[in-house]
Structure 1
C-alpha cells in the first residue's frame, strides 16, 4: 500500500525513501527503480516533523532549515527517548541533496507551522510557546527567529491545536493554506465533539486578521471525516515489529477515532497545496510558492520508513513508547515522561494518573 503511494508520486516528481539498514533491502525490492532508497538511522519515522523545511529565494535557490528536534517535548512531556538520531535527520537529508543548511535555534517541527509562500505563517501558541519548546524565549523572540529563518513578515497565532494531540497542538491538524489568502479549517457542527470550541476559536482569529499583504483571509470550513476502518488486508500489509501497537480490525468509538483521522485528512489537504517559503541568501527575506510549473526549484520529496516498517496509518497510534489502554474515557494515552527510570502515566482524556 505505501509502496504504491510512493510509486504514484514518483510518476510526476523525484521521490526518495529513507529506510533503516534492516528495511533497506525490503524497501528496494518493493519500490520501482525510479524511487531512490537511502539508508538512514532514525529513532522514529515521522520526517514531516524531524526533516528540514525548504526555503526558496527569488533566484530559485533552494536551501534547508534544520530545527532543533526534541521528540515533541524532550523530558517534559515528549513522546520518546532517545531522539538524537532524529535531530540529525534534517542535516543528513540536506547533505544528500547537497543543499545549504540553516541550523535554527528554535525547537520546532514541520507540522507546527503553516506558510502561504507570500510572507504569512500560521502556528499555535500551545506548540511553539510551550515550555517544552520555546516558552523561555517569549513570543517576540520566537517571531524574530521565524522571520529570520523562514522569511515571513506576518505570524498568525492560534491559541491551541486539537484536543488529544500528542504533538502539543500542531497547526497542521487544524488548518492549512490552500493558496495565499485562502485557508481550509477543520470543522464540526456537533456540540459533543471535543474539537467543537477549538475550531470556532481558530475561525474567530483567522477571520479577524489580515495576512502579510493586507488581505483578509478567506476561510473554508472542511468538516471532519467519519471514522475510517482498517481492513484485515490492510493490516496484514504492515510489518509487525517491537513497540508498535497491535491494531484490531475496525475502529472504536466515533468520539475518539474521528479525532485521530482528522490529522490524516489535514495532512492530505496540506500536501495538495505545495508551498515553499523563501529566504534570499544575501538580501531581505521573501516568500515564494512552489508549484508544479516551477518543479526545477522543488526539492525531492522524502518518504519516511513509515512506508516500509510497522507503523500505524493513524498518526496518534504509531509513536515509539506510546501504548493504548482502556480507561473510563475508552482509550488512554500512556507515554513516558521524565528521565529514564522515572515514569508517570497521564490519561489524555480523563486526566487520571496511574
Structure 2
C-alpha cells in the first residue's frame, strides 16, 4: 500500500493519551503527582469536548485515573513507563484507493529519546503495537528510531524533521539523511523532507528530546508554517528561531510552493528555576472543530491564541495551562496522538 500521513487538521476518529504513572513525569511528592494527573486530565477533558478520547492507564494507576478522569473519557489498561503518547504511540496513516481509506499505524522503534540515561522504555516501547491493535489499524513496522514529536507534516507529502533527532547517534547512528528520507517515504508518504538544524535550547539539555520539531514549527495548512519566535535576544532560542525560519524560507514544500512563514511569539517568561524555558505555543493539538493550545499565565497567551484562530479558521481555540507539562519536558502535542478517520466514499 501507498501510505500517507494526513494533516492534523483532517477529520479524526479520536485522540489517544496515556495517564501519568510512577516515574519522571508523575513526580515524587503528593503535590507533584496531583499536579501531573490534574494537567493530563485537563487536556483530556478539553479534547473530549470535540472528539472521543482514549487514555491508556497503567494497572497501578486505575484508581487514580477513575478519580481524575470523567466519564467523557474512555480508558484502556496497559503497563506504562511514562505518559508521552505522541512519542510512544504509533503514527497513524491512510491509504486511499479512491473508494475507501485504509488506516495504518507506524510503530517506530522507541528507545527513550536516544537511550537517555534517565529514561526507561521497556514498557513504553510496546505501546505503539498495543494502540495499533486496539485501534484496528493495519500494523506497519519500522526499524527507524523515531517519535511522533519528531515529525510534522502537511498531509501532501511535506515532512519537517530535525537533524538532531533522526540523525541522533543515540537513535540511528548508521543512517544517512537519504536513509531516513527513504523510510519516511515508505511509511508516511514523504515526498519532500525538510531538515531543520535543531529544536529549542532547553530540549537539547539532559532531560530533553534532543530537538523535537513539534515545539518549533507546525504546518496549519499547505504552504503555511508556524515558527516559534523568541523575541528576547538574551534567550538562546532567539537565534535558533531565526535560523529555523531562514532554513524554511530557503526551502519549498512538496508542491514547490514557497512558505508563508507565520512567526508565533514565545511567552515573555524567560526562565524558571532550571534555566531558560522552552515554553512554546507551537506545541498545540488540532482536533475536530478546535485547537487545544498551551497557555502559561503569560501576556502573550492571548496573542498566540489569536494567531492560532487566524491560521485555523472555523476552529475554536481552547487553552490549557501547560506549565506543569513543560516542567516535565513537553507540551499538549507531546501527550496526545490523533487517529485520523478512514472514510468510505
TM-score by length of 2: 0.68
The one of 120, 123, 126 aligned to 1:85: 123
* CA displacement, residues 246-272 of structure 1 (integer Å, 9 cap, x when unaligned): xxxxx736x935x2322xx22126676
1:307-322 mapped onto 2 (5 Å cutoff): 313-317=324-328
Aligned to 2:306: none
Secondary structure at 1:162's aligned position in 2? coil
Name structure 1 gaps, 5 residues minimum: 229-250, 275-290, 294-310, 320-354
Structure 2 segments unaligned to the other structure (5+ residues): 1-37, 293-311, 315-321, 331-345
For residues 171 and 137 of structure 1, the distance between their equivalents in structure 2, rounded to whole angstroms, comes to 19
Deviation at 1:315, TM superposition (A): 3.3
Deviation at 1:174, TM superposition (A): 0.9
Corresponding residue for residue 171 of structure 1: 213
SS at match of 2:70: coil
1:15 to 43, 46, 53: 53
The match for 2:263 is 221
Residues in 2 aligned to 1:95 and 1:143: alpha-carbon distance in whole angstroms: 27
- Does the alignment pair 1:260 with 2:260? no
- Inter-CA distance 11–194: structure 2 relative to 1 (3 Å threshold): same
- Contact 2:284 2:291 (C-alpha < 8 Å) held by counterparts: no
Which stretch has the larger CA shift, 78-87 or 144-153? 78-87
Q: TM-score with structure 1 length normalisation?
A: 0.67
What's the offset of the Cα at 1:143?
0.6
Distance in 2 separating the partners of 1:71 and 1:183: 28
The structure whose residues are more often strand, as a share, is 2
Note the C-alpha offset of 1:79: 4.8
- Number of aligned residue pairs: give it: 257
- Which whole-Å CA distance do the structure 2 matches of 1:195 and 1:219 have between them? 17
Distance 2:233 2:286 in 1: 26
Instruction: Provide closer, same or farther for how the CA distance between residues 197 and 93 of structure 1 changes in structure 2, counting only shifts above 3 A.
Output: same
Deviation at residue 222 of structure 1 after TM alignment? 0.6
1:229-268 mapped onto 2 (5 Å cutoff): 252=272, 256-257=275-276, 259-262=277-280, 265-268=281-284
**Is the aligned partner of 1:144 residue 2:155?**
no
Give 1:190 shift: 2.1
The within-5 A match list for 1:177-196 is 177-196=219-238
**2:170 & 2:231 partners in 1: Cα distance?**
33
* Cα contact 1:182–1:219 (8 A) shared by 2: yes
Equivalence for 1:117: 155
How far does residue 318 in structure 1 lie from its aligned partner after superposition?
5.5
CA 1:256–1:100: 2 relative to 1, 3 Å: same
- Structure 1 partner of 2:244: 202
Shift of 1:312: 7.5
Say which SS state the counterpart of residue 314 (structure 1) adopts: helix
Change (3 A) 1:64 1:172: same
Which residue of the other structure, out of 46, 70, 74, is the alignment partner of 2:111? Answer: 70
Match of 1:154 among 192, 196, 207: 192
Q: How far 1:101 sits from its partner (Å)?
A: 0.9
Q: 2: distance between equivalents of 1:209 and 1:195?
A: 21
Aligned CA distance change for structure 1 residues 155 and 70 (closer, same or farther; 3 Å): same
Structure 1 pair 189–9 and aligned structure 2 pair: CA distance change class (3 A): closer
Shift of 1:168: 0.8
Label 1:106 to 1:21 Cα distance change in 2 as closer, same or farther (>3 A): same
Query: Displacement of 1:80 after TM fit?
Result: 3.1
Shift of 1:33: 2.3
- Of structures 1 and 2, the larger Rg is shown by 1
Alignment RMSD (CA, Å): 2.7
